Amino acid sequence: MGTKYGELDRYLFHQGTAGYAYHYLGAHRMDDGYAFRVWAPNADGVWVSGDFNDWQLTCPMERISEAGIWEAVLPPNAVKAGDAYKFCIASGERRIWKADPYARYSEPAPGTNSRIWEAEPYAWQDAAWMRRRRQVAERYYQSPMNIYEMHLGSWHRREDGTYLSYREIADLLAPYLTDMGYTHVELMPVMEHPFDGSWGYQVCGYYNPMPRYGTPDDFRYFVDTMHQSGIGVLLDWVPAHFPKDAYGLYEFDGRPLYEYQGMDRMENRGWGTRCFDVGREEVQSFLVSNATYWAKEFHADGLRVDAVTSMLYLDYDRDSGQWLPNVHGDNRNLESIAFFKKLNAHMRRECPGVLMIAEESTAFPHVTGEDREGLGFHLKWNMGWMNDTLFYAEKDPLYRAYHHDKLTFSLMFAFNERFVLPISHDEVVHGKKSLIDKMPGDYWKKFAGARLFAAYQMLHPGKKLTFMGNEIGQFREWAYEGEIEWFLLDEYATHRKHKAFVKALNAFYLAEPALWQVDDSFDGFKWIDADDKDRSITSFRRIDKNGRELIAVLNFTPVTYEDFLLEVPADGTYAEVFNTDDTAFGGSGVTNTGVQFRSEQMGGKHAVRLRVPPLGVTVLRCVRKRATRKPGRT
């Protein structure tokens, strides 16, 4: 049964407050026919054409709002599920053929037509997950988050090199992520895009899951399967820009419409794309509704908002003279700031429990702030941590002492925002090398360095994200045309051991509240020694909300210390609970397994002596505190 929408929907859309515009715009079966609606205010005329009328201009649309919504209602039986269609827009003497911006399905590439999508309501099986998600909505940052970022088309492929379907990937991925100890999967954009080489970041079909992998319901099955396995699903979302494909949003009605009109803002020259005019009310409705759509219709647990930095600054990727300052004379894009506040407030209200995550690479203030000045995101990628840490990790250990600040500086701002620590797809492409190949030294040192780096990420405050392939120590850079080099696990024990290490590290992270419960303040982190640059060693404590602690020592040189004196917070007995140099992980076996350390006095403080592995991490826990003897009576 269809539902009629009308004057109120048009009003909200033109006011920029339509959070559910996809219920009205696009193609919809109604009680009295099949309605097509499109926004094209500069058009001189619009037709809807498709399989149902042999692609003839026999179905003219009527302009039903002064601000440019056009509508055509076809007889109920004139249109059927699967029919291809487009809008033909008259702009002067030109006829422009455009896909439906609100289409929920389309032809697979290289086809560009929209398709009518009709199906029975999907029978979701994730009620328990959705109920639990709502319950923890306000406690998300006190919960573990270990994200596996992936590209659907290059995780696994069939033997003939063709894509797996959403359903096939789901059935393989859910048990894999559960076994490996990940809490979330983050998908590079699944919205329809014509060029595979864009990795999904040049979107044409914002409401359309990629038909390369199946139907919208097949994608619902993917999300549903993840949820039933306890895995959250985060989606990359691209509100900054769109490509200049002729059938897409580009100059939709013959003139700039979804994009800015001024040349100082219209294009991102580096990407060759058009920038959304987020100051325009109808564009706000389009984008806010799109975020709502993926959360409501596909149960997405979060949106990672791509390229936020490019939207916040008027001079982003522009030289002097190519941009104009705002009314205050500076380089902030005031419309984008207002848009993000509106978007995030709407999502918190309408989609509680859905995380909004900013990819933002500058020190723009209050990105995760919820006050009047804040943009309202839940999380922000910590690009400073990523850049500094990779810079340090790629240095020969001989020279790391001269760059010790790169290792410790992140704690100067670790609690300014609520952060995710990302090692994403961007770090393992374009000649940057794979994560393991970034590590200096011979084969053994590369794997030891990768284990050290992964442990440092897990022990550092903030939620975690790593890209697919890192868990098996793949040496080849990521390439979207192929798949992860899974054969390495069959042919090389070192890669199998590295995967076992990552699994064990993930399990350790999940089991230890000290590593995730207090990620937003120094209440959960205390330095023991941040300044041992000569030995390239750091040591610190991680503390949960009940005061239970872990103590970590990280050695960034290939030197073994057999009698390392470590300050500890209390007089007592300590034991090692994790060591990256375990032979089961491919390490050299410099561990403290089975040893309990009794603390001793060190200048009025307490300390233990232990073995510290080369290019390794050891983590201790106090297993028994020594009782303080109370003075007796005489």
Catalytic residues: 306, 359
Here the tokens at position 70 are: 């056009």
Collapse the DSSP code of 522 into the 3-class scheme (helix H, G, I; strand E, B; otherwise coil) and give the result.
helix
Assess contact for 612 and 537: CB atoms under 8 A: yes
Helix 216-228 with 127-135: angle, nearest 10 deg: 70
Distance (Å, whole) CA 389 – CA 457 = 9
Place of tokens 């051991």: 497
Helix (H), strand (E) at residue 12? helix 7-15
DSSP structure string for 260-297: -SSTTTSEETTTTEEEB-TTSHHHHHHHHHHHHHHHHH
Assess contact for 613 and 445: CB atoms under 8 A: no
Place of tokens 């219920």: 23
Alpha-carbon dihedral 255, 256, 262, 265, rounded to 10 degrees: -160
Reported in sequence order, the residue ranges of 323-470 that DSSP labels E, i.e. its strands, are: 355-358, 379-381, 419-423, 463-467
Reported in sequence order, the residue ranges of 392-536 that DSSP labels E, i.e. its strands, are: 419-423, 463-467, 525-532
Collapse the DSSP code of 364 into the 3-class scheme (helix H, G, I; strand E, B; otherwise coil) and give the result.
coil
Assess contact for 120 and 155: CB atoms under 8 A: no
Reported in sequence order, the residue ranges of 101-231 that DSSP labels E, i.e. its strands, are: 114-115, 146-150, 184-187, 191-192, 205-209
Distance (Å, whole) CA 356 – CA 49 = 37
Place of tokens 């050299």: 588
How would you write 40-100 as a 3-class SS string?
Answer: CCCCCEEEEEEHHHCCCCCCECEECCCCCEEEEEECCCCCCCCCEEEEEEEECCEEEEECC
Closest CA to 46 of 16, 25, 69, 74: 69
Eight-class DSSP state of 462: S
Please report the sign of the dihedral spanned by the C-alpha atoms of residue 117, residue 119, residue 123, residue 127.
positive
Please report the sign of the dihedral spanned by the C-alpha atoms of residue 217, residue 222, residue 228, residue 232.
negative
Distance (Å, whole) CA 112 – CA 556 = 52
Distance (Å, whole) CA 631 – CA 562 = 37
Assess contact for 415 and 521: CB atoms under 8 A: yes
Distance (Å, whole) CA 29 – CA 354 = 29
Instruction: Report the amino acid identity of residue 167.
Output: R
Collapse the DSSP code of 152 into the 3-class scheme (helix H, G, I; strand E, B; otherwise coil) and give the result.
helix
Assess contact for 443 and 547: CB atoms under 8 A: no
Distance (Å, whole) CA 129 – CA 125 = 9
Q: How many CA atoms lie within 13 A of 127 on its CB side?
A: 3
